[in-house]
Copies of this chain bind each other. A is one copy, B any other.
């Protein structure tokens, strides 16, 4: 029976602010090797899918960027399906809809391998061995989770208490799922040898899972069944209807199903797993120098030790400090004690309370057609660099309160301005008066870069009146 990887790609990862934000979350962060966790997870999924499909559950916000990343790996013509959540409802409803979808498509004995998109796995061979083990148990109607041997008394994870060994398998029954412990309890867990970290990865047959869901979480089962009934199953990406999904309880699969089932099993996941859950974890991916410093970007460290510096374009200097994480981005800089890296989420909480857009948005914002970076945001003008990907078209739009001056610096843009249409090459510029309909298109084969100078008295993203949009962003 087929094994279908199901990638869960959502969640902001606020502990990795300011690089990970709601608008560009943790799976999209580039690691030391230049590749994102989303790409790594997709590659890993492909390697166990044996030529079959990889299903990704994500949100509309992340769909275009995720699809771009996948296209970069397997080309644009692939048919790996997407399920789009209108809102987040934790893992149980997402996995349940994936199970319904795959059960209808491949039958109840199809196995799901649930993979969060924001985890790192270093040992791919060991991973495949563990997946084989899990699949064998799934075929015996077990609901399998992957337990990670704990290397430290981590308080940020849930734990699994292991029960007795399952016959003809290296897996064990699950004695109990336990919530994130305090430091003292975590130390006891680690010392006892009876506990594993709960990785959030699962393997089970679609039919077995749905049956367990119906039995242990009938409210979730009912809600997702209603969603399923309202879905256009032949469309891609497959959108989950907002109204019905909004009725689902937000609950994790651990609580809804795994801890209530007597068929839960745990397989040892000794494959170099990390959830990259903090800047400390990120820093450990880098080689340290003789002073224990790890540097990505341009930095000058004077008598400083055991620091991690991640810079962007700017220079970071440190003097006489130790055990710090310093992360610099276009619009924000973080300085944190390395051992307090978990508390970075508190920064995001405070920013959210302040309604500060730095909580959600970056200086560089990804759009279906490419991206833009804000170079200047002042009272009298806003300056952006736009990057439009080949074949992409921005919406036909106009603005009430700003004019725009475009200078192409790379590639050739196709511009519609009022009723005219013309090409704009590098070192050419044009002017979009306030209230004039316009559209920007890249009809070429390389990226178009242009500098946009907005003049006027208001430059908010909400002053865009869209008339046609190939990405479905026209408001009715």
The yes or no answer to A431 lying at the interface (CB within 8 A) is yes
Residues of B within 8 A of A337 (CB): 319-321
The yes or no answer to A403 lying at the interface (CB within 8 A) is yes
The yes or no answer to A232 lying at the interface (CB within 8 A) is no
Residues of B within 8 A of A339 (CB): 320
The yes or no answer to A215 lying at the interface (CB within 8 A) is no
Residues of B within 8 A of A313 (CB): 331
Residues of B within 8 A of A456 (CB): 427
Residues of chain A having any CB pair with chain B under 8 Å = 17-18, 300, 302-303, 313-321, 324, 326, 328, 330-337, 339-341, 343-344, 346-347, 350-351, 354, 356, 358, 375-376, 378, 380-381, 383, 385, 403, 405, 407, 409-410, 426-427, 429, 431, 449, 451, 453, 455-456
Q: How far is the CB of A40 from chain B (nearest CB, A)?
A: 27
Inter-subunit contact B385/A376 (CB<8 Å): yes
Q: How far is the CB of A333 from chain B (nearest CB, A)?
A: 5
Inter-subunit contact A328/B333 (CB<8 Å): yes
Inter-subunit contact B431/A455 (CB<8 Å): no
Residues of B within 8 A of A346 (CB): 302-303, 319
Residues of B within 8 A of A334 (CB): 317-319
Contacts A300-B350, A319-B344, A410-B380 given; does A335 touch B335 at CB 8 Å = yes
Inter-subunit contact B344/A315 (CB<8 Å): no
Q: How far is the CB of A301 from chain B (nearest CB, A)?
A: 9
Query: In the complex, what residue of chain B is closest to A430 when comparing beta carbons?
Result: B429
Residues of B within 8 A of A335 (CB): 316-319, 321, 324, 326, 335
Inter-subunit contact B429/A380 (CB<8 Å): no
A-B pairs, top 3 by smallest CB distance, nearest first, are A320-B340, A320-B337, A319-B336
Sample of 24 A–B contacts (CB below 8 Å):
A302-B350, A303-B340, A314-B331, A314-B333, A315-B358, A316-B335, A317-B333, A318-B335, A320-B336, A320-B339, A321-B324, A326-B333, A326-B335, A375-B375, A375-B376, A376-B383, A376-B385, A378-B385, A380-B409, A381-B409, A383-B383, A407-B453, A427-B456, A451-B453
Residues of B within 8 A of A315 (CB): 18, 331-333, 351, 356, 358
Inter-subunit contact A426/B455 (CB<8 Å): yes
Q: How far is the CB of A315 from chain B (nearest CB, A)?
A: 4
A381→B344 CA distance, assembly (Å): 36
Inter-subunit contact B375/A302 (CB<8 Å): no
Residues of B within 8 A of A332 (CB): 314-317
Contacts A316-B335, A375-B376 given; does A351 touch B409 at CB 8 Å = no
Inter-subunit contact A405/B380 (CB<8 Å): no
Interface centre among A315, A403, A429 (most CB of B within 10 A): A315
A376→B380 CA distance, assembly (Å): 18
Q: How far is the CB of A121 from chain B (nearest CB, A)?
A: 28
Residues of B within 8 A of A356 (CB): 315
Inter-subunit contact B314/A343 (CB<8 Å): no
Inter-subunit contact A455/B340 (CB<8 Å): no
Inter-subunit contact A333/B347 (CB<8 Å): no
Interface centre among A334, A407, A426 (most CB of B within 10 A): A407
Residues of B within 8 A of A358 (CB): 315
Query: In the complex, what residue of chain B is closest to A343 when comparing beta carbons?
Result: B319
Residues of B within 8 A of A405 (CB): 405, 407, 429, 451
A39→B316 CA distance, assembly (Å): 30
A337→B318 CA distance, assembly (Å): 8
Inter-subunit contact A375/B380 (CB<8 Å): no
Interface centre among A340, A358, A455 (most CB of B within 10 A): A455
A316→B328 CA distance, assembly (Å): 9
A405→B452 CA distance, assembly (Å): 11
A259→B328 CA distance, assembly (Å): 49
Q: How far is the CB of A316 from chain B (nearest CB, A)?
A: 5
A25→B405 CA distance, assembly (Å): 36
Query: In the complex, what residue of chain B is closest to A449 when comparing beta carbons?
Result: B380
Query: In the complex, what residue of chain B is closest to A409 when comparing beta carbons?
Result: B381
Inter-subunit contact B427/A403 (CB<8 Å): yes
A313→B356 CA distance, assembly (Å): 14
